[in-house]
Structure 1
Amino acid sequence: MDGKWQKRLKKFSQHFIIIVLIVIMLYPLVWMIGSSFKESSKIFVEAHSIIPSSWHPENYIEGWKGFGGISFFTFFKNSFFIVIVTTIGSIISSTFIAYGLARVKFRGKKFWFAMMMMTMMLPFEMVMIPQYIMFNNFDMINTYWPLILPNFFGVPFFIFLIMQFIRTIPIELDEAAKMDGCNTFSIFFRIIVPLVTPAMMTAAIFSFYWSWSDFMGPLIYISKPELYPVSVALKLFSDPDNLTNWGAMFAMSTLSLVPVFIVFFIFQRYIVEGISTSGLK
């Protein structure tokens, strides 16, 4: 076998493996979308089939009605409020902290940076009870404050991401700005922020996705159904005492993925720029 056929075989093998992996990863999503159009009682009977034997688009109508007079519009509205405020707070605070750790000289900077990195190793289960006690003492249970407020003090992963991006920016830009009369805040807003926009957008995408899919946080702090986000509201379809409406559950689960896909496809180029730092060119 000559070199030409070896290259073709290698290329074919690579494409074949990629296609197989894509099918494996997309199959659960396609199965869920197909199941959202099936009759609820036949979803698991026809689990082997992706395409429904009979189409039932009314699952989306039934699911959108929600529960107890609370439609899924309310749940989507709650999720968007939490996600938007959380994302804004986490990006603004993380960018400020990253700039301070990357550019500003102060005593104990290495210590505080090490402490911040150590918090990334703490699982949520470790801080869950202390945080609940703290917010309960602040009388913030059944409000969105426990879900939103911590993000206004910086997210360690975003701080590290933006900080590493800032370190790639030549320090000479700061010095030139100082010679032109800029202070620390002017340098931050006029020089640093425009250059780290790709990293900030990358962090914003991750923040949107994490906040949108967060289930444990709202489940712990919120007990009023009218305040539920989509992630918790989907659980209400499952009723161990009565018949679970699987069709409506899969229909609303499919709709809950739409905002995530829209945000990802619109801003996906920023992920590449945030990682490769091509925005500095």
Structure 2
Amino acid sequence: MKNNKTTKKIFDHVGLILLSALMIFPVLWWVFASFKPSGELTSTNLLPVRWTLENYIKGWHVTQDLTFGRFFLNTLLIVLTNVVGAVFTSSLAAYGFGRLNFKFKNFWFAVVMMTLMLPSQVTVVSQYIMYSKMGLVNTYLPLNLPYCLGGGAFFIFLMVQFVRGIPKELDESAKIDGSTTFQIYARIILPLLKAPLTTVAIYAFTWSWDDFYSQILYISTPAKYTVGLGLRMLIDAWEIQWGKLLAMSLVSIIPALILFFTRQKDFVEGVATSGLKG
């Protein structure tokens, strides 16, 4: 019996290793291809015959006036604004739905949850017309406002689950001490939401960083381009600059990878326990 269990474990581990190797192979090819000169990109060799940083050096300088450094700064400005806005406004909205009593609360919460079923493509035309009439096209505000006005139904729902799980006796004790409603939120509720706040921050960061669709829709000036739009500049009607594209796309994912792996524990905790609260 013991030998059978050992054999099963061996086969399980071998199978997992093979599947992992199969899934990670395209990523390895991507990494190694970014160090290949243009003439080697079509070769079947995984490792470069001649290693070079040419793709990174030339790819960083998109034009004489624009570099990917500018695109990174533009993207970070958008992303950090979205992260702060989503963390604050979604927790504030969740506090209202999870703790306060007001007229038609359940109805409005149901309306918020119903927006989860609406694809973004359904509302994109009306949103663009609204932002255009407000004179916000070709600015970052259309990319920031959705995150700064509640952050979206998913973030609110995630927060509500945690807020409902916090004992209400803490609120009552704070009220006896003379705390206002906002002070209860800031001093009692918010410090206890570390896990969901981290999860919301990571989601807001990655979604904002990868939001190519909205960026290409609202931003038209190259000086305001984000990393995603900067990568698109390496593709034109006549040529795709594969070496530069591979190198810069690899660089573009580094911030998201650093954030995820450094805060992975809080992220997993927030997702795993969100369905257990309330």
Measured against the shorter chain, the TM-score band is: over 0.9
Q: 1:13 to 1:172 in 2, by over 3 A?
A: farther
Is residue 166 from structure 1 mapped to residue 163 from structure 2 by the alignment?
A: yes
Which of 102, 117, 120 pairs up with 2:116? 120
Counterpart for residue 39 of structure 1: 37
Between the aligned partners of 1:17 and 1:179, the Cα distance in structure 2 is 60
Which residue identity lines up with residue 110 of structure 2 in the other structure? A
Between the aligned partners of 1:127 and 1:249, the Cα distance in structure 2 is 32
Counterpart for residue 205 of structure 2: 208
Range with greater deviation from structure 2 (12-21 or 174-183): 12-21
The count of aligned residue pairs is 274
Between the aligned partners of 2:170 and 2:15, the Cα distance in structure 1 is 46
Q: Is the contact between residue 37 and residue 54 of structure 2 (CA under 8 Å) also seen in structure 1?
A: no
Which of 250, 268, 271 pairs up with 2:267? 271
Which residue identity lines up with residue 109 of structure 2 in the other structure? F
Between the aligned partners of 1:53 and 1:102, the Cα distance in structure 2 is 60
Which of 225, 234, 237 pairs up with 2:234? 237
Counterpart for residue 69 of structure 2: 73
Q: Is the contact between residue 31 and residue 250 of structure 2 (CA under 8 Å) also seen in structure 1?
A: yes
Deviation at 1:16, TM superposition (A): 2.8
Between the aligned partners of 1:69 and 1:191, the Cα distance in structure 2 is 50
Unmatched tracts of structure 2, length 5 or more: none
Deviation at 1:140, TM superposition (A): 0.8
Counterpart for residue 151 of structure 1: 147
Is residue 63 from structure 1 mapped to residue 51 from structure 2 by the alignment?
A: no
Between the aligned partners of 1:41 and 1:126, the Cα distance in structure 2 is 44
CA deviations over 1:75-131 (Å, ceiling 9, x no partner): 111111110001111111100000100110111111111111111111111111111
Deviation at 1:204, TM superposition (A): 0.2
Deviation at 1:58, TM superposition (A): 1.4
Counterpart for residue 83 of structure 2: 87
Between the aligned partners of 1:119 and 1:209, the Cα distance in structure 2 is 21
Between the aligned partners of 1:166 and 1:33, the Cα distance in structure 2 is 43
Deviation at 1:68, TM superposition (A): 4.6
Counterpart for residue 12 of structure 2: 14
Among the aligned pairs, what percent are the same residue? 43
Deviation at 1:276, TM superposition (A): 4.3
Deviation at 1:64, TM superposition (A): 0.7
Deviation at 1:67, TM superposition (A): 2.3
Q: 1:194 to 1:27 in 2, by over 3 A?
A: same
Give the match's secondary structure for 1:274.
helix
Which residue identity lines up with residue 127 of structure 2 in the other structure? Q
Is residue 98 from structure 1 mapped to residue 91 from structure 2 by the alignment?
A: no
Unmatched tracts of structure 1, length 5 or more: none
Deviation at 1:182, TM superposition (A): 1.9
